[in-house]
Chain A
Amino acid sequence: MSQKLLEVEDLRVTFPTHQGDVEVVKGISFDLGRERLAIVGESGSGKSMTGRAILKLIRSPGRVTAKKFVFDGIDLNKQSERQMRKLRGARISMVMQDPKFSLNPVLSIEDQIAEALRTHQTLTRKELDEKVLHMLEQVRINDPARVAKLYPHEVSGGMGQRIMIAMMLIPEPDLLIADEPTSALDVSVQAQVLDLIDNLIREKGMGLILISHDLNLVANYADRVLVMNAGEIVEQRDAADLQNATHPYTQGLLNAMPRLDETRDELPTLDRTQWAAT
């Protein structure tokens, strides 16, 4: 690994509540080169919080602390909110988990993408329109001319996700954080969209943090996998090696997936009492 893109040591995210502080990310450490890293884990394990913490996008009263927190030579600990805003979008961008929440409900798709384009370059109206359509095509949306005119509630679940991805790829960031980017897509479109991201990453030498609970997907589209549970990293593996996971939690996740030729009457579920957090 040549140059480290992101170094994180002892990252913590804390929320003060009326019953005392709650740590939802409990001192995790990892490095990222220009490679594809996946974070998997069950719901509430702190995956999204980790992603948001890197952008320092934890809503107050939440707090982020880290011993070492360096992105491409920039110490994120020392960045002011204003400096972070410059980094966000331009150099690090994030596809949020809930596309319908993240899109503005009263702006058309076209206007939102155009808005994102305009903040990064100056374009004429015509170029802008062309570029918007091109972006939608790239994420495999059928009939982009019609979809461009729709409002967020008028697009299907999967389209919303792809629109978010298109918007986040516009500025060609160095690091892309994708939080469950394809959970609403069918397998074949999912593959196409991930291939698109994959190509971009290889061409531009970007880094990717792929957050997902889909172990199949992660095995195919990441180089390395971090398994998180209750705010901690319980296992780190090469993606190719995932089925040999040793931690009972990872195995539990693997077993809980139904198969194409399913014969089991009931799927095994995790015994949460072992890890019960809240």
Chain B
Amino acid sequence: MSAIELNNLNIAYSSVQVVHGASLTVEEGESFALVGESGSGKSTILKAICGLNDEWTGEIKLYGEKVDPRKRADISRISQMVFQDPYGSLHPRKTVDTTLSEPLTIHGIKDNGDRVVEMLNAVGLDQRYRFRFPHQMSGGQRQRVAIARALMLKPKLMLLDEPTSALDVSVQAEILNLLKQLRKDQNLTFLLVTHDLPVVSFLCDRLAVMKKGKIVEIATRDQLAKGTFNEPYSQELYQASKHEHVA
């Protein structure tokens, strides 16, 4: 069964259409990347999938079940999202502990803090950080907290919106390693938005290239490594990335 199936998805913001007829399938356990132009609607697709925007038409299926944009069932235990900006996605007045326990309280899961400890370990954060406030942590540490929060309800599907673009290369490496490890350990499915092709190469099996609200090409990681894309725009992205590299 596929984890996500999008068929002819159109998404609008107050009647301005920003995504046009997007279709793609992400298999269970797969790691799939959405890359492409800034403003092309990548974040918008993730938000539609997880229910933060319901102005869409077309079809979204999660694990075989159709999602109805208006009668939205609570999918928080199936799928979670990690946001682009680690500075904006944590509540400034809540300690790490509160942030992480909140999803458990909401779902009435009784737990005496074991899950929090477990998740902090899973994302490689020392217990020292458990009662810190966001402003007492660096960007990389905050992003780890955001990932831990997404994992609290043990979802099967993780939607990752540029999880490392605000982080420096060394922290990026840590987070990427972490994501790879977590996927292996917990058998997660990833849908990852990024503008960084090397990240795709490290973490993903397939990628979809977007431009101006349309998916122009779906390619595999091999194609990316060799640079054998079919569409001119994908080629352009590939060339630009290649050109940039020093090492």
Residues of A that sit less than 8 Å from B by CB: 41-44, 98, 100-101, 141-142, 146, 154-159, 162, 180, 183-191, 213-217, 219-220, 242-243, 252-254, 256-262, 264-270
For B233, the closest partner residue in chain A by CB is A188
With A and B bound together, what is the CA distance between A220 and B139 in angstroms? 25
CB <8 Å contact, B168 and A186: no
CB distance from A158 to the nearest CB of B (A): 3
Which of B36, B162, B242 is the one whose CB lies under 8 Å from A184?
A: B162
CB <8 Å contact, B39 and A260: no
User: Given the interface contacts A157-B43, A214-B169, A219-B246, does A258 sit within 8 Å of B37 by beta carbon?
Assistant: no
Is B24 an interface position by the 8 A CB rule? no
CB <8 Å contact, B240 and A191: yes
CB distance from A93 to the nearest CB of B (A): 22
Residues of B that sit less than 8 Å from A by CB: 13, 16, 35-39, 43, 84-85, 87-88, 138-140, 162, 165-174, 176-177, 180, 195-199, 201-202, 212, 224-227, 236-238, 240-242, 244-247
CB distance from B41 to the nearest CB of A (A): 8
Q: Which A residues touch B162, using CB under 8 A?
A: 157, 184
Q: Which B residues touch A270, using CB under 8 A?
A: 170
User: Given the interface contacts A187-B240, A189-B37, A260-B245, does A213 sit within 8 Å of B195 by beta carbon?
Assistant: no
Q: Which B residues touch A155, using CB under 8 A?
A: 39
With A and B bound together, what is the CA distance between A266 and B177 in angstroms? 6
Q: Which B residues touch A162, using CB under 8 A?
A: 38
CB <8 Å contact, B169 and A100: no
CB <8 Å contact, B201 and A258: yes
CB <8 Å contact, B225 and A157: no
Which of B85, B195, B244 is the one whose CB lies under 8 Å from A158?
A: B195
Q: Which A residues touch B169, using CB under 8 A?
A: 42, 213-215, 253, 256-257
With A and B bound together, what is the CA distance between A142 and B39 in angstroms? 8
Which of B171, B173, B198 is the one whose CB lies under 8 Å from A268?
A: B173
Q: Which B residues touch A268, using CB under 8 A?
A: 173
For B39, the closest partner residue in chain A by CB is A156
CB <8 Å contact, A42 and B171: yes
CB <8 Å contact, A185 and B38: yes
CB <8 Å contact, B85 and A187: no
CB <8 Å contact, B244 and A184: no
With A and B bound together, what is the CA distance between A262 and B85 in angstroms? 25
Q: Which A residues touch B180, using CB under 8 A?
A: 265-266
Q: Which A residues touch B238, using CB under 8 A?
A: 260
CB <8 Å contact, A187 and B195: yes
A-B contact pairs, 10 of them (CB 8 A): A43-B167, A141-B39, A157-B84, A184-B162, A187-B197, A189-B37, A259-B198, A261-B224, A269-B174, A269-B177
CB <8 Å contact, A260 and B198: yes
Q: Which A residues touch B246, using CB under 8 A?
A: 215-216, 219, 242-243, 254
CB distance from B244 to the nearest CB of A (A): 4
CB <8 Å contact, A258 and B85: no
CB <8 Å contact, B198 and A43: no
With A and B bound together, what is the CA distance between A157 and B166 in angstroms? 11
For B44, the closest partner residue in chain A by CB is A156
User: Given the interface contacts A186-B237, A187-B237, A261-B225, does A156 sit within 8 Å of B38 by beta carbon?
Assistant: yes
CB distance from A170 to the nearest CB of B (A): 21
With A and B bound together, what is the CA distance between A98 and B171 in angstroms? 18
